A = this chain, B = another copy of it.
Amino acid sequence: MTEKESGSVLQFAPFQSAVDEGFWHRLSSLKLNKFGIDESPIPISGFYSPCTNSRVSNHLSLIAESLPPEQSEQSSVTTNFGNRNRCSVPGILYNTNTFEGFHALNKQGLLKAEAQKVWDDIHSGKAEEDCAVLSRFLLISFADLKKWSFHYWFAFPALVLDPPATLVDLRPASQWLSLEEAESLSAACNEWRSSSVTTDVPFFLVSIASNSRTTIKHLKEWTSCQQDGNKFLFGFYDPCHLPTNPGWPLRNFLALIGSRWNLKKVCFFCYRENRGFADLSLSLIGEALLSVSQGRAAEMGTIFVQDGKILNMCLMQWDGSLTEGRRCQDVLALLNPWTQKDQNVNRLAISAADLNLKLMRWRALPSLNLNILSATKCLLLGAGTLGCQVARMLMAWGVRKITLLDSGKVAMSNPLRQSLYTLEDCLNGGDFKAIAAVKSLERIFPAVEAEGVVMGIPMPGHPVPSQEEESVLQDCRRLQVLIDSHDAIFLLTDTRESRWLPTLLCANSNKIAITAALGFDSFLVMRHGAGPISTVNDFKAEDMTTLAAEMGNFSLIDGDREPRLGCYFCNDVVAPVDSTANRTLDQQCTVTRPGLAPIASALAVELLVGILHHPHGICAKAEFANSTDSESTEQPLGILPHQVRGSLSQFSQMTLVGHASNCCTACCTTVVSEYQKRGMDFVLQAINHPTYLEDLTGLTELMKSASSFQLDWDNEMDDDDCIEI
């Protein structure tokens, strides 16, 4: 400070900040979906308006619109021209990846850089063209999306006059002005504020003619209006409510006035409102002396940037974990558990649900397609040990549309292995599994679109009495509709024969079909191949049958020579029959090592994710573990096998392939085209006459000829008996 003026040093009320929850939501979303580990600074906008209350200052607010939009096509910051409550303040956000990074940021350096922008805009004339750049702010943050807690600091860079401005006088505008002047100024301000062009222009010139007539002008008009000899006030929208001090925006305005326009004596006008109109008893007018000369002001920039003194840090610090961050938590705390469906909780739950998946895209798996996963409709046949676990895994992978089909009720022995049920579901005779499972999924993630279907699956070898025929046919048709309206079908029932009709229907509709089957300590997880009759390039059934006269030959897909992959029944030489009769308790119950179902379920879901990400989808050829096959171009998720068989007694797992059989009772051309021709009549015949399928497919013939030599099934299928449970 080189000289001391009379009067007191002019002091300014700091900006206060407020961050809306919506801001953090959009930031989280952008961080997860768009920015990833990129730490580049993000241009954002804060909003404020003139003070409207004699007891409360207005805040600089951050809202969702402060951030760039989430859709990538619109890359610029949304501007809100014309909103009287949203005068835009340009800001910049440094959001770090780690808490350590947050604390390690060079706050002084960043703040200097922002202040330098203000200085540059003043001296380039830009601030006169667009006065919004006179206020700026800096936000640094660490968004801990795991805990949904946000650590942040605000800073409002301000140019410091050296020596500081001296306050000569400061009074309510109503006292400063004559009555005529006040009335005219009120009218002019109200007009300025009511025009959408000027309503959010926070700095302006007030020209008071000798006849008390008052006009408001843009800053850029300063030079041109020097000649008219009027009195001038330098006006700004003042967020501060204090009668004793002007608010923060005046600081950089005075720097402009002193260093660009070289004024030494300034009358400033702190514009404040009441009920949307100028309030001249709340507004202040002050007189200040600036001691910087034109020459010195120009130098000032240079001098002080060099030794670091021009940019006084006015760093206003809030640790989000102590104040704002906790406010987010409080939103949660206030919610009664019984209003769990409340939008805010759901919104948080949805954000949180995808957290882990979105984080995968940052580094581990950038090609992960969450849209495909969330759009895929999954139908789970069976809501038992496997079904419960598969549903959980699907949700964890971001699948949102899940239908569970089961005819059973929750029994007392179920909850320990069937991970969606609790003891309460067993009371009153037990809830239907399909219904209880849906409720459980909703308790885990309320935004899941889950549906329960209480229904049995008609099975070959379980003949139907004629009076029940219509209801069985209805079930068949219902299953057909369900399969056609879903994208991926999981076969998770506990009998072989209940998988037959779904397998046929999936082969007919070319749906993704995934089977998981458990033995006592071994499992099979496989994806079914595409159907025999391509929907893209329809074969005639006759062509197919002439192509392959015996088992092991294959159908063609789209003219390609790649063999079609088999279904669950392709290795069988007998049609599915009733396997439930005469089963003792240990054969009826899922007597398996408890570790088996979670492993098989997990692999089944991982297979689905693999198929959905593979360019050939359902037609992708079988790949093998640790294969050195140069042809297979491994996908980001890894290999896509056809069958995975595992053993808990050996802690081993292997990938296998089984090609489609032309005698398959569920997926061969003969069966599928017979179904297409005869529909439910065909299904009913298969259900009622166990040998019909074998006769139709030629298995009967094959068995006769096979009896002349020894078929060695053991190599590939040695644990097949176990799989039959």
Q: Are B395 and A586 in contact (CB under 8 A)?
A: no
A582 close to chain B: CB less than 8 A: yes
Which residue of chain B has the shortest Cβ distance to A421 in the bound complex?
B444
| B333/A429 in contact, CB under 8 A | yes
Chain B residues with CB under 8 Å of A583's CB are 98
Complex contact B445–A415 (CB within 8 A): yes
Interface status of A359 (Cβ within 8 A of chain B): yes
Chain B: which residue is nearest A521 at the CB level? B638
In the assembled complex, the Cα of A609 lies from the Cα of B421 at a distance in Å of 24
Docked Cα-Cα span, A622 to B426, in Å, equals 42
Q: Are A596 and B602 in contact (CB under 8 A)?
A: yes
Cβ-based interface call for A71 (8 A): no
Interface size class of A (residues with CB under 8 A): 35 or more
A430 CB to nearest B CB, Å: 8
Q: Which residues of B contact A429 (CB under 8 A)?
A: 329, 332-333
Chain B residue with Cβ nearest A408: B147
Q: Quick check: is A75 within 8 A (CB to CB) of the other chain?
A: no
Cβ of A582 and Cβ of B98 under 8 Å apart?
yes
**Which residues from 630 to 663 on chain A have a C-beta closer than 8 Å to any C-beta of chain B?**
634, 637-639, 641, 644, 646-653, 655
Q: Are A416 and B353 in contact (CB under 8 A)?
A: yes
Interface core residue of A360, A421, A605, A644 (most chain B CB under 10 Å):
A360
CB distance from A694 to the nearest CB of B (A): 24
**Chain B residues near A641 (CB-CB < 8 A):** 651
Set B144, B362, B416, B639: member contacting A396, Cβ < 8 A:
B416
Q: Which residues of B contact A98 (CB under 8 A)?
A: 581-584
Give this chain's copy count: 2
B residues less than 8 Å from A101 (CB atoms): 582
Taking the closest CB of chain B, its distance from the CB of A28, in whole angstroms, is 10
Q: Which of B359, B422, B601, B626 contacts A585 (CB 8 A)?
A: B359
Smallest CB-CB A-B distances: 6 pairs? A638-B649, A352-B412, A595-B602, A396-B594, A97-B584, A359-B586
What residues of chain A have their CB less than 8 Å away from a CB belonging to chain B? 31, 37, 97-98, 100-101, 143-148, 329, 332-333, 335, 337, 340, 345, 348-349, 351-353, 355-356, 359-360, 362-365, 389, 392-393, 395-397, 411-413, 415-417, 419, 421-424, 426-429, 443-446, 520-521, 581-586, 588-596, 598-599, 601-603, 605-606, 609, 625-626, 634, 637-639, 641, 644, 646-653, 655
Given A337-B427, A362-B586, A625-B652: 4 more A-B contacts, CB < 8 Å: A146-B413, A335-B427, A340-B427, A639-B650
| 29 pairs, CB–CB < 8 Å, chain A vs chain B | A97-B585, A100-B582, A145-B585, A146-B413, A146-B585, A148-B411, A148-B412, A333-B428, A337-B424, A349-B426, A352-B411, A352-B413, A355-B413, A356-B417, A356-B591, A362-B585, A363-B586, A364-B520, A392-B419, A419-B419, A421-B444, A594-B605, A595-B605, A596-B602, A598-B602, A603-B651, A625-B651, A634-B649, A638-B651
